Amino acid sequence: MAYQMLINGQSVDGVSTFDVINPATKSVITQAPQASVEQLDEAVAAARKAFPQWAALTHEERRAKILQLADAIEANADDLIETLTTEQGKPLKGFFDMGAGFEFGGTLAWIRGTAEYELSKKVLQEDENLRIEMHHKPLGVVGSITPWNYPLMISIWHIIPALLTGNTVVLKPSGMTPLTVLKLAQIAKDIFPAGVLNVLSSESKIGSAMSLHQGIDKIVFTGSTPTGKSVMKSASTNLKRLTLELGGNDAGIVLADADIEAIAPKIFATAFINNGQTCAALKRLYVHESVHDKLCDELVKLANSVKTGNGMDADSDFGPLQNESQFNLVKELAEDAKANGANFLCGGEVVDDSGYFYPITLVNNISDGVRLVDEEQFGPILPIIKFSDVEEVLERANSSEFGLGGSVWSTDIEKATQLAQRLECGSAWVNHHGAIQPNAPFGGIKQSGFGSEFGEVGLKEFTSIQTVHIHQK
């Protein structure tokens, strides 16, 4: 099929096209439209024109449109899930049903869950002389720049709270995974008024042009820390509001009293969800020396029980890495770990080069100072680091420049909770990792970004506060 963008309610071609690659085969799926800066200007102008009327609707009127979108997306489930697998690589079902169907289900959950929230006015003071009200007002045009790891769900994370609070949106998905989002745009075309939602695809230039654009009032960006810093610099030209969800190098700490057989499947699943290509996946595992060997054994059993293969194959638990660059980074980090004396418990060697397949890999006899521990691998390779002192390991966990998530694993819930609260990260879990939901705020600190998503707190990120002083006499 021919893919088109959405600008001002119309399906439009790009000025040229670019190839979209299937990471399971390294072959071209199709061509996607390449937007021009002039088309970006058209989309922003359309969004600005549509803003007053959309913002003037009642909350219930906007909510009804958003729920209509959820129903229309659900009606296109099979097509969207298959497209997602083809361009992103994740299996249709995958390990523990956490593949493309999992992302699709999350997409619906976040639309419908977010639609339940409303920001009402708050009366700060009321007496015979003065009434003071606080109102949350939409910002205007929101620019959304989304990544390639969860192209459909993260797009929804950006656009639904923006639209619900009365903003209009210009969205650019990753050039590596634009197809599912372009299909989403066509589904939304007949639901929202022209200009309320605009979607442009691009290999390059459009994202940076959005950050600089004087007609965009806020940027929501999910992606790498270096790119986030570039977005922040460009956004300063008109003091755009920003929500930045950037890289992470999440630490998990397994205490001596942990129930190893019970937690091993959870650790495995949360480290390797989406083949490790998840911002809040468990990426550094610190394990007390008394249970280190037993946990390693349990994780290896799990690793040996799964299959990495083409996501379209029903028996594939994990798919390929999404792109060649990420594939090469994982290989590079593995080779550096080998050179530094790390022990590879399983994996570590490419056995199928028909796609960007890298096996589930577990590494121990490694510590801080090695790239695999210090850097975000964003792939299916987990370093397991032995420790003996809890205070010392907490310091090591917090020494990272990142601060997205962290976890503590123990049968002593009170002790684990106290330790989790001392982790320097935006989200902390006890006996789990990376579990997020629409009603719980999510965001990072330090080099992992700033701003919160989800729930009422997330809605507020798309508004400004207006305080109205009403003098009664």
List, as one string, the DSSP characters of 153-177: HHHHHHHHHHHHTT-EEEEE--TTS
Alpha carbon 346 to its chain centroid, in Å, reads: 28
Q: Which of 279, 296, 425, 453 is catalytic?
A: 279
3-state class of 31 per DSSP?
Answer: strand
338: tokens are 């080998």
> Do 182 and 3 contact (CB within 8 A), yes or no?
yes
Concerning whether 461 is annotated as a catalytic residue, the answer is: no
Exposure class string for 434-462: b at 16+ Cβ within 10 A, else e: bebebeebbbbebbbbbbbbbbbbbbbbb
Q: Identify the three-state secondary structure at position 75.
A: helix
Neighbours of 35 (CB within 10 A): 26
Determine phi and psi for 379, rounding to 5 degrees. Answer: -165, 180
Which of 142, 136, 201, 206 lies closest to 168 in space, CA to CA?
Answer: 142
Maximum distance among all Cα pairs of the chain, rounded to whole angstroms = 80
Joined together, the tokens standing for residue 371 give 């790239």
Q: Is the separation of the CB atoms in 183 and 171 below 8 Å?
A: no
Q: Which one of the listed residues 87, 103, 245, 376 is annotated catalytic?
A: 245
Q: Tokens in use for 336? A: 């550096």
- 217 Cα distance to chain centroid: 22
Q: Is 94 left (phi over 0), alpha (psi -120 to 50) or beta?
A: left
Q: Which residues pair with 12 in a beta bridge?
A: 5
Task: Report the half-sphere exposure of 342 (CA within 13 A, side-chain side).
Answer: 31
CB-based contacts of 395, cutoff 8 Å, min separation 6: none
CA distances from 130 to 133, 329, 468 (A): 10, 62, 10
Token pair in block for residue 375: 């850097």
Residue 278 DSSP SS3: coil
Q: Is 42 assigned a catalytic role? A: no
Rounded to an integer, what distance in angstroms lies between the CA atom of residue 271 and that of residue 286? 13
Could you tell me the CA-to-CA distances from 410 to 96, 315, 405, 415 in Å, in that order? 23, 33, 17, 8
Q: Which residues are catalytic?
A: 245, 279
